[in-house]
């Protein structure tokens, strides 16, 4: 494998849209049931486990940030470097987060004055100044044991959880740097798998993922698991044959994950309600094999289309539930009834497509421009007179900016 240890890992960028769509279809299950009960039933084991897409995001987040910042922040702690990292993370998530947060609030207010069916009282009651302050500061989840109702835009709870991980990253990266220096790659992989286990152990103890404060070990431990997995990958040097083998292994892991979901759905251990959550244990090896492998699945996820969709995935994740909520309100307002038909199927696909188009617009007109704008606030001013080679340097900085 190449010695490069920074920049974008395209297969992992492509994986992001898979994780995002998994969450989207999880939330759209009731509409799928109305539009096509056989289709909903056929894919039920996969759709019912769609919430695990968030756990995959947490692991990816820990992995990618460690990939880009381990050398820059791991050797010694620097207040300046830590603050710069946190600002760049805000630049990445805050613009779309703030836009969708206020869109969700605006729609809730809209339903108070238009039509006969305002959103449920808990939503309206949460529209207050204190809640606004908490959400703007990304801390709304930190004060309650359950994430339902914590955010005006439902999926935003996970961004509040990630913000906690970002604040901890300055310490985590110091520890991971030292563990990596003293540990072989194979043992780092085992440590990563072990770090991802606490949410699974809680699932085995309670039979459900959604227990008081369960979000906390999910974000902290899976973020750390991703960081340790990255440290292992950075140490590995594979031959061409080894990279192809890892590519095939990633495909095998996906087959095992899908097969496992169907098996756990048919035979849940001890009658477990969220048995599909047990497949989380395979996310760490999946991310590792995709980051190291070539051909097969890594090649598919690395295509230009998949990488682009991966870049848009955050906007889709943040926007889709607003589209879903608006549709549910319209159903009540206009007495819309979906019955199994091609019209109903196209309606559901149209709603998801609408979320996708909105996500692309958010990405191009909010996410990327605002990220570059916020980044320029902390970058040193460049001299007016360009020096020879500045064009090449500018391109390198552009790649690094996207990775950050």
One-letter-per-residue 3-state SS of 128-147? CHHHHHHHHCCCHHHHCCCC
- Taking only the tens place, the pLDDT of each residue in 73-102 is 999 999 999 999 999 999 999 999 999 999
- Taking only the tens place, the pLDDT of each residue in 321-341 is 999 999 999 999 999 999 999
Q: Which pLDDT does position 121 carry in this prediction?
A: 86
Give the residue-averaged pLDDT of 168-185.
97
Q: Which pLDDT does position 6 carry in this prediction?
A: 59
Q: Which pLDDT does position 3 carry in this prediction?
A: 39
Q: Which pLDDT does position 230 carry in this prediction?
A: 98
The share of the chain scoring above pLDDT 70, in percent, equals 93
Angle ∠(151,155,160) on CA atoms, nearest 5: 60
- On the question of pLDDT at 270 being above 50, the answer is yes
- On the question of pLDDT at 172 being above 90, the answer is yes
- On the question of pLDDT at 112 being above 90, the answer is yes
Measured distance CA(224)–CA(66) in Å, rounded: 10
Residue 76: Cβ-neighbour burial (10 angstroms; 0-12, 13-18, 19+): exposed
pLDDT band at 33 (very low <50, low <70, confident <90, very high): very high
Give the residue-averaged pLDDT of 307-329.
97
Q: Which pLDDT does position 170 carry in this prediction?
A: 96
Cβ atoms of 32 and 348 closer than 8 Å: yes
- On the question of pLDDT at 394 being above 90, the answer is no
Measured distance CA(118)–CA(319) in Å, rounded: 20
Domain ranges of the chain: 10-377
- On the question of pLDDT at 399 being above 60, the answer is no
Q: Which pLDDT does position 383 carry in this prediction?
A: 53
In angstroms, what CA-CA distances link 30 with 37, 69, 260, 288, 292?
10, 41, 23, 34, 38
Among candidate residues 165, 153, 181, 3, the one with its CA nearest the CA of residue 75 = 181
In angstroms, what CA-CA distances link 44 with 88, 208, 257, 271?
39, 17, 14, 17
- Taking only the tens place, the pLDDT of each residue in 342-393 is 999 999 999 999 999 999 999 999 999 999 999 999 987 655 544 444 444 4
The share of the chain scoring above pLDDT 90, in percent, equals 89
Is the model more confident about 290 or about 404? 290
| Global pTM value | 0.92
- On the question of pLDDT at 404 being above 80, the answer is no
Instruction: Evaluate the CA torsion angle 127, 130, 135, 139 in order and state its sign.
Output: negative
Measured distance CA(329)–CA(119) in Å, rounded: 7
- On the question of pLDDT at 171 being above 90, the answer is yes
Gyration radius from the chain CA atoms: 22
> Phi and psi (nearest 5°) for 343?
-60, -45
Cβ atoms of 70 and 230 closer than 8 Å: yes
pLDDT band at 7 (very low <50, low <70, confident <90, very high): confident
Q: Which pLDDT does position 403 carry in this prediction?
A: 46
């Amino acid at each position: 494998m190449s010695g490069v240890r920074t920049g974008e890992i395209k297969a992992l960028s492509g994986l992001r849209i898979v994780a995002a769509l998994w969450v989207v279809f999880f939330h759209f299950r009731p509409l799928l049931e109305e539009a096509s009960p056989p289709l909903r039933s056929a894919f039920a084991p996969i759709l019912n486990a769609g919430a695990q897409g968030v756990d995959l995001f947490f692991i990816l987040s820990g992995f990618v940030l460690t990939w880009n910042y381990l050398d820059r922040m791991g050797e010694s702690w620097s207040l300046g470097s830590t603050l710069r990292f946190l600002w760049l993370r805000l630049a990445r998530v805050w613009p779309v987060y703030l836009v969708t947060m206020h869109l969700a609030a605006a729609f809730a207010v809209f339903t108070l004055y238009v039509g006969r069916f305002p959103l449920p009282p808990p939503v309206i009651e949460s529209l207050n100044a204190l809640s606004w302050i908490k959400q703007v500061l990304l801390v709304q989840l930190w004060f309650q044991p359950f994430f339902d109702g914590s955010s005006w835009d439902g999926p935003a709870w996970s961004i509040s959880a990630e913000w906690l991980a970002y604040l901890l990253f300055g310490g985590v990266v110091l520890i991971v740097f030292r563990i990596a220096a003293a540990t072989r790659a194979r043992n780092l992989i085992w440590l990563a798998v072990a770090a991802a286990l606490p949410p699974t152990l809680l699932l085995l103890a309670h039979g459900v993922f959604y227990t008081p404060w369960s979000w906390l070990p999910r974000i902290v431990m899976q973020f750390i698991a991703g960081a340790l997995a990255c440290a292992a990958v950075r140490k590995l040097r594979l031959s061409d044959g080894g990279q192809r083998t890892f590519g095939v292994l990633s495909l095998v892991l996906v087959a095992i994950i899908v097969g496992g979901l169907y098996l756990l759905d048919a035979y849940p251990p001890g009658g477990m309600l969220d048995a599909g959550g047990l497949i989380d244990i395979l996310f760490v090896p999946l991310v590792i094999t995709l980051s190291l492998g070539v051909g097969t699945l890594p090649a598919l996820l690395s295509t230009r289309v998949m990488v682009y969709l991966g870049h848009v995935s955050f906007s889709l994740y943040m926007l889709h539930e607003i589209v879903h909520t608006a549709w549910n309100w319209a159903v009540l307002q206009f007495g819309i009834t979906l019955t199994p038909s091609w019209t109903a199927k196209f309606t559901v696909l149209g709603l998801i497509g609408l979320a996708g188009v909105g996500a692309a617009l958010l990405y191009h007109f909010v996410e990327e421009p605002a990220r570059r704008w916020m980044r320029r606030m902390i970058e040193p001013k460049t001299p007016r007179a360009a020096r020879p080679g500045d064009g090449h340097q500018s391109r390198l900085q552009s790649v690094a900016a996207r990775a950050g």
